[in-house]
Amino acid sequence: MFLFLLSCSTVPITGRKRMNVVKDSQILPASFAQYEGFLKENKLSTNSSKTNEIQNVGIKISKSVDRFMRANGMLNEANSYRWEFNLIEDNTVNAWCMPGGKVVFYTGILPICANTDGIAAVMGHEVAHAFAKHGQERMTSAYGQQLGGIAVAIGTNNKDPKTKALWNTIYGVGSSVGMLAYSRTHETEADKLGMVFMIMAGYKPEEAINVWIRMSERASSGKAPPEFLSTHPSNQTRIQNLKNYLPTAVTLAKKYNAQ
Ligand SMILES: [Zn+2]
């Protein structure tokens, strides 16, 4: 049997207090197994220039996150990440990052990204969810005690349909309806952190605002709303918050790049 203790910690940069039951040592092997399973079951894009673009942006942003972690007492975490960036051939409008830096973009989200800075905005945002451990926090609040067993089960048998479905729900993987939406708190936090990381990596933060404008235009266009929107609701408040935060993000990025 396993015992799990609730522990309180602080999200770096934003300073928000959070509760987590799952340790990295439990969740990371599970995450890596889930990611490997996902790649086997889905089709990688054969568009090498788009794939390279995703990977280049991912590498630059992950280097910024890594630099931040090493300069701010997160050495163990920095060493345990296994960054990976893949582009999946799929019209689903989605992107996600599993714990430990395992990122997937779907080709369906590329028109909303529109350009390299737009890719960096989505990359920064998704990496920020993993950096701030929002998935683990969701697991903690939504599934409580059953979770530890689930994490272990996923780590040891990534083919079990029930644990896999739960994992996908929590991390926004795939195209199924009924994915769990990130809370407004988590979305705002990922927007802020993502903006800092994209600026640290040398991208234009204004494009983050444009991405969310395109996302909400797509939602109101009468076409089926993007899957990404069901987990990442976009609206005027969100867009305004990004505009308001931009100067702070620029200041923080400068400070962390100088560390
Ligand atoms: Zn999000």
Tell me the CA–centroid distance for residue 134 and ligand 1, in Å.
9
Furthest C-alpha separation in the chain: 51
Look at the alpha carbons of 210, 211, 217, 220 in this order and tell me if their dihedral is positive or negative: negative
| 89 contacts 107 by C-beta, under 8 angstroms | yes
| 93 contacts 218 by C-beta, under 8 angstroms | yes
Only one residue has tokens 């197994």, namely 33
Instruction: Give the β-pairing of 84-88 and 95-98.
Output: unpaired
CA 134 to chain centre: 9
Cα separation, 119 vs 96, in Å, equals 12
| 158 contacts 173 by C-beta, under 8 angstroms | no
Contacts of 148 (CB under 8 A, 6+ apart): 2, 3, 4, 21, 22, 26
Tell me the CA–centroid distance for residue 191 and ligand 1, in Å.
7
**pLDDT tens per residue, range 11-22:** 999 999 887 767
Nearest-CA neighbor of 193 among 68, 57, 70, 87? 68
The pLDDT tens digits along the chain (259 residues) read 344 455 678 999 999 988 776 778 878 988 998 899 999 999 999 999 999 999 999 999 999 999 999 999 999 999 999 999 999 999 988 899 999 999 999 999 999 999 999 999 999 999 999 999 988 887 776 555 555 556 555 555 556 777 777 777 777 776 554 456 677 888 899 999 999 999 999 999 999 999 999 988 887 776 766 667 767 776 788 899 999 999 999 999 999 999 9
Tell me the CA–centroid distance for residue 95 and ligand 1, in Å.
9
CA 4 to chain centre: 25
Only one residue has tokens 């790649």, namely 39
Both structure tokens of 44: 């990688």
**pLDDT tens per residue, range 87-116:** 999 998 889 999 999 999 999 999 999 999
| 17 contacts 200 by C-beta, under 8 angstroms | no
CA 126 to chain centre: 2
| 20 contacts 136 by C-beta, under 8 angstroms | yes
Tell me the CA–centroid distance for residue 112 and ligand 1, in Å.
15
CA 247 to chain centre: 23
CA 88 to chain centre: 16
Supply the residues annotated as catalytic.
Answer: 126
Tell me the CA–centroid distance for residue 195 and ligand 1, in Å.
12
